[in-house]
Chain A
Amino acid sequence: MSAEDVLFDMLHAEIVSYMVSKDSKTEDEDLSMLEHLGYSCGWRLIERITKELPRYKEELEILKFICTDFWSCVYKKQVDNLRTNHQGVYVLQDNEFRFLNKLSNGTQYLKEAPKYATFTSGLIRGALENFGIASIVTVEINRMPSCKFHVHVQQSS
């Protein structure tokens, strides 16, 4: 892993701990700021990556793009598994999620884990938003370092 990657990891970790400690007055951890941060990063990032790409037509194609090119750009690997019910629900599974793979390979720190995935869920939402797909992204972590992102596409009425 090169130095830039480590820098990104450390900066991310510091942002997470800063954001969480700032909101620690309330009982529940409020991760919305973190999500918003990811959202704007994703929104801008997708603008940059796609500037030389042809247009995608279908939703699935766009999701595939997120799983391959977008993920390699940010995490230097592809999403391991993409599943969909063809009704606007997609599940992206990364079995070796970078922000978790130094933490545990079981269930230790499971309570702390979601805050490390929030930025990324925002990243996905922002990227999709800029493709014209409004969505809600949630995170599911059962056993680290595996991490699932559920994307619920909001049907435009």
Chain B
Amino acid sequence: MTIYNIYIFDRLGTLLYYMEWNRQKQSGMSKEEEAKLMYGMLFSIKSFVSKISPHDPKQGLLCYKTNKYALHYYESLTGIKFILNTDISVKNVRDLLQQLYKDIFVEYVVKNTECEMGQPIVSELFQNKLDQFIKQQQKILQ
């Protein structure tokens, strides 16, 4: 299993954090632009999904797949969005993202009073923990 990269957005679409591990092809634009594009696309897909759904969607958008990669989407009740790109063989990413939100984001961002909400995350502790967490998951799921 390979994890390519992660985006964390807040409720208003600010890119809080971006990190990549095994990303071979770059998009050829700046990170800010790419993040805007990503957020815009997700925003559109989300509204599309909720409009087109034949039933009342409980969870809404969960993931999409191409033949090369899969994008997993998790949104907390407060609107924090976690986007994880992996290869297509990966399963149970939802639990992983939930755990990431609960154990890493809440612990080291929300409880860190030096981190201002709505601002990009600069805490090194958070970055280390996230990196550790992802690398550990990669090992387990191999």
Contacts and interface: CB of A to CB of B under 8 A. Distances in A.
Nearest to B129: A105
Given A103-B113, A105-B125, 11 more contacts: A6-B111, A13-B113, A102-B108, A102-B112, A102-B125, A103-B114, A104-B124, A108-B125, A109-B114, A109-B123, A112-B114
Nearest to A107: B124
A103 B124 CA distance: 9
B127 to A, nearest CB: 10
B131 to A, nearest CB: 13
Interface residues of A, number: 14
B111 A104 contact: no
Which interface class (under 10, 10 to 19, 20 to 34, 35 or more) fits B?
A: 10 to 19
Among A9, A10, A104, A106, max chain B CB count under 10 A is at: A104
The A interface is mostly helix, strand or loop, or mixed, namely loop
Contact of B125 (A9, A10, A104): A104
Contacts of A108: 123-125
B128 A105 contact: yes
5 contacts: A6-B111, A9-B111, A17-B113, A103-B113, A106-B124
Interface of A: 6, 9-10, 13, 16-17, 102-106, 108-109, 112
A10 B112 CA distance: 9
Nearest to A144: B125
Contacts of A112: 114
The 5 closest A-B pairs by CB, nearest first: A13-B113, A102-B111, A108-B124, A102-B112, A104-B125
